[in-house]
Amino acid sequence: MRDIRVAAAQFEHRNHDKSYNLSRIKALTRRAVDQGAEIVSFHECSIPGYTFLQHLSRDELKAIAEPVPGGPSVRALEAIARDHHAVVMAGLVESDRERLHNCYVTVGPRGFLTKFRKLHTFINRCLSPGDSYNVIDLDGIRAGFLICYDNNLPENVRITTMMGAEVIFMPHVTGCLPSTMPGRGTVDRALWENRHRDPARLRLEFQGPKGRGWLMRWLPARAWENGVYAVFSNAVGVDEDTIKPGLAMILDPFGEVLIESQALGDDVVVALLTPEKLEQSSGRRYLRARRPDLYEKLIEPPPPGQEPITEPGWDVAR
């Protein structure tokens, strides 16, 4: 790994408005590059929008899906990357013959680089889960990818690290969601609409257990226990029937927050990632201490009738 400046972005996407969302990706990429960023990471399904997908039929979902690479949105991303001389990452719905995927695309100044398909899909039953991890050489670093819920399972982050990842890009659309956990739940839309007149009330919600407090329960642990940089991008503002808190941030291999956004709106944060923290981190020692001979239970198939199922903490309309 080499020294590299990386950006994590947040913006309020518009449902089913790829043109607008791509315009925000372009503007925030420019802002990140002006701060020295070489890689700019946007959130899950940042191109079409996300939570509204739960209401779509298969035909409606197919209508917004695109081939990757070769589709119009990937071509638009390639143009943004080329114009700004940067690597750009963003999410969309991919069509692959009859299968549809929640897909995260990485492009550079010379074109398409790679894609990753979300392993744990739930927002729409017509989305097929991915079946593989992805770690690539990217501008002098080893980059891995996991989308939102994927990061809630420690096994996914551990395996991605064991495949050589030094930096894991973690695009999300999360936070301020219905939950049975104490202190969690949704944010009143009126607080968002009134954020310019009374930002303190909304910031308390975003920084409390509904938003940042929940993230801090597990996100630093994923970076710390594996000794990797974690790049967390997220939506902010209105997302269908919820308000998302943004909180874009980058964490180091010690699980410390290098930089984070407290903006109540579109924003991008940039941090310098350096190689020496990787080997200094506790997580790298833990990797070397593993006892695979004891881990048979981890790969034991589930009993009949208990096949793997990805369940969110709230009801999803399908």
Query: Mean of the pLDDT values across residues 169-191?
Result: 96
Compute φ and ψ for 121, nearest 5 degrees: -90, 150
Confidence check: pLDDT of 30 > 50: yes
306 pLDDT band (50/70/90 cuts)? confident
Confidence check: pLDDT of 232 > 70: yes
Name the burial class of residue 239, with classes exposed (0-12), middle (13-18) and buried (19+) by CB atoms within 10 angstroms of its CB: buried
Query: Mean of the pLDDT values across residues 72-84?
Result: 98
203 pLDDT band (50/70/90 cuts)? very high
Question: Among 182-186, 206-210, 216-220, 311-315, which stretch is predicted with the lowest mean pLDDT?
Answer: 311-315
- The structure's pTM equals 0.97
Confidence check: pLDDT of 70 > 80: yes
| Rounded distance between C-alpha atoms, residue 50 and residue 60, angstroms | 14
Instruction: Give 242-293 pLDDT, tens digit per residue.
Output: 999 999 999 999 999 999 999 999 999 999 999 999 999 999 999 999 999 9
User: Which structural domain, as residue segments, surrounds residue 128?
Assistant: 4-299
Query: Mean of the pLDDT values across residues 155-162?
Result: 98
In a domain, 221, yes or no: yes
Confidence check: pLDDT of 125 > 80: yes
What was the pLDDT predicted at 207? 98
Contact between 42 and 86 (Cβ < 8 Å): no
What was the pLDDT predicted at 206? 98
Query: Mean of the pLDDT values across residues 132-147?
Result: 98
What was the pLDDT predicted at 317? 54
* Longest alpha-carbon distance in the chain: 59
In a domain, 315, yes or no: no
CATH assignment of the domain containing 47: 3.60.110.10
In a domain, 308, yes or no: no
Q: Please state the length of the chain.
A: 318
What was the pLDDT predicted at 318? 43
In a domain, 277, yes or no: yes
Confidence check: pLDDT of 129 > 50: yes
In a domain, 48, yes or no: yes
Contact between 22 and 279 (Cβ < 8 Å): no
Which ranges of the chain does DSSP label H, i.e. alpha helix?
18-34, 58-64, 72-84, 154-162, 189-193, 199-207, 212-226, 276-280, 282-288
In a domain, 306, yes or no: no
Domain count along the chain: 1
In a domain, 314, yes or no: no
In a domain, 193, yes or no: yes
Count other Cβ atoms within 10 Å, centred on residue 255.
21
N-term to C-term CA, the chain = 43
Confidence check: pLDDT of 315 > 90: no
316 pLDDT band (50/70/90 cuts)? low
What was the pLDDT predicted at 140? 97
